[in-house]
Structures are given as C-alpha cells and as structure tokens.
Amino acid sequence: MIELDEEQKAARHWFESLRDRICAEFEAIEREAGSDAAFDYTPWDRADDAGAPGGGGVRGLMKGRVFEKVGVNVSTVGGSFNPEFARTIHGAAEDPRFFATGISLVAHMANPHVPAVHMNTRFLATTKRWFGGGADLNPPIPYEEDTDEFHARLRAACAAHDQTFYERFRKWADDYFYIPHRGVHRGVGGIFYDHLEGPFDQTFAFTRDVGEAFLDIFPRLVRRRMDTPFGEADKARQLAWRGRYAEFNLIYDRGTLFGLKTGGNVDAILMSLPPVATWG
C-alpha cells in the first residue's frame, strides 16, 4: 500500500466519489429504459519495478440497453518511471518517482443518435504537482443543439475560475483530439488541459467543477436522444465512426500510453475501445 499525503488523499477521495455518483446516474438511466443493467467492479493491484506494492484501482464496466459499453475507472498508483519514459513526463526527468490518481470514463452508446463521450481528470505528482483532464463529446450523428449545450456547460465551469480557461482549453482539445492520418477530429470537442499548476485548493476546485459539469450535462443529452428511432444506415455510420475512435486511442492517446508504460491493468486501460466497430 503506497502512503499518501493529505493532498493526494483528497484527490483520490474526490475521484472515487465522483465515480460513485456518475455510475449511480448511469444506472438510473438504464432503469428508465427498462433495463436492470448495473456496473461490475473489478479491483486490480499494481507492483512497481522492484515488486513492491505500487497502488492499483477499480475498473467499473456496464453493458446495458442505453449504454452499450461504458467504463468508469479510478486508479491510484505510484513508484518510479523507467528513465526513458521519465524524460517525457512533466517534472520527472530530474527524479523518476511519481504519484498519480484519477478517474477515466468512456461511454459507447447503443443508439447512434446518442453521443459517445470521454471524460478524464487526474492529479499527478513528480518534482511538480498538477491537475489535468477534461471532457469531449463524440457523436456519430452530431446535433448542433447538443454540441452547443455541452460546450456552454464547460464554458461556465471554466469561467468560474479564469476567463481565459475555456478558449485555451477548447483549442487544446481541438488540437489534441485530432487524427492526423485521417485529417479529421475525433468528435465535436470539449476541453482538455494538462500541467495545471498552482495553489492546490484552486487547481483542485477547478478540476472538481469539470467533473460536476460533466455529471450535469451528459445525462441530459443521453435522456434527450436515447429513444430516437434509428435504422441500419445510422448504425453503419456509428460503427465506422467507432473505428476512427479506436484508431485515435490506440495510436495517439497519451492516457493509453501512460497506463501501459506504468504497469496499469490492461483491461482497464483498453476499456475505452468500442465493443463493435467497422473499417473499410
């Protein structure tokens, strides 16, 4: 068991509590659809390079009538990066020891009119301490109304802390969630931030508000679209779009690389992949 200081404990507790509330809300949506689907929780442990306890996490996974596949994972890990990887991590080149705790969520929906979504927030400590994360909407069939409301809610969360945050982090998301070899964005964007340093109480408060904004807006969008009729052409469009999503996560996503490079649980890391996709 890795020992945590008070800031690390506070961040871990928040991510775990956010997981609980998100999962409860998603299960409530399944009940509204007449489904008894519920999350299965699988704990996992991690050993560091020397074989000592290096933390672990819990993978939460649900497959239902509305949420074809949704994963909500929390993890708290620590140890040392290998020297080569340490050079790529903020503040780790000087000292490879690290601590990381966070929540990661990806939802792939049964109805192609309901947007898929990604949300991740995290706290990392090397020789520096910072928060990172964000949320982005990934609709196979975009609706301008949904996109506008999603962005408006994130804009409000940002504005409560810094008037420059939304435009900076929106652009960061647009630049990051891009598939160069396809020449397309992964979805309709959101916000993405990293290396957010400063007084812990301030940066932590912003990260909490990002989580609250997600919990507020995404279930509303799901309920709006989950009963929309769809046909074979809509489903084919969704499956082709999922192929693009899988390409991004396997080739470009930094979170996937971080998990694999630090000995994380492979099933939890790859829970972001869609249950079914097509290419060609």
* Contact assessment for residue 74 and residue 102, using Cβ atoms and an 8 Å cutoff: yes
The one-digit pLDDT tens for each residue of the chain (280 residues) are 578 999 999 999 999 999 999 999 999 999 999 999 999 999 999 887 667 788 999 999 999 999 999 999 999 999 888 788 888 888 888 898 899 999 999 999 999 999 999 999 999 999 999 999 999 999 999 999 999 999 999 999 999 999 999 999 999 999 999 999 999 999 999 999 999 999 999 999 999 999 999 999 999 999 999 999 999 999 999 999 999 999 999 999 988 988 888 777 888 889 999 999 999 7
Residues 6+ apart with CB under 8 A from 199: none
Query: Which domains, and CATH codes, for the chain?
Result: 6-272 (3.40.1500.10)
181 is catalytic: no
Query: How far is it, in rounded angstroms, from Cα 31 to Cα 25?
Result: 10
Which distant-in-sequence residues (6+ apart) come within 8 Å of 152 by Cβ? none
Centroid of chain to Cα 96: 25
Angle between helices 144-159 and 200-225 (to 10 degrees): 160
Determine contact, residues 194/126, Cβ cutoff 8 Å: no
Catalytic residue of the set 108, 113, 118, 185: 118
| φ, ψ at 149 (rounded to 5°) | -70, -35
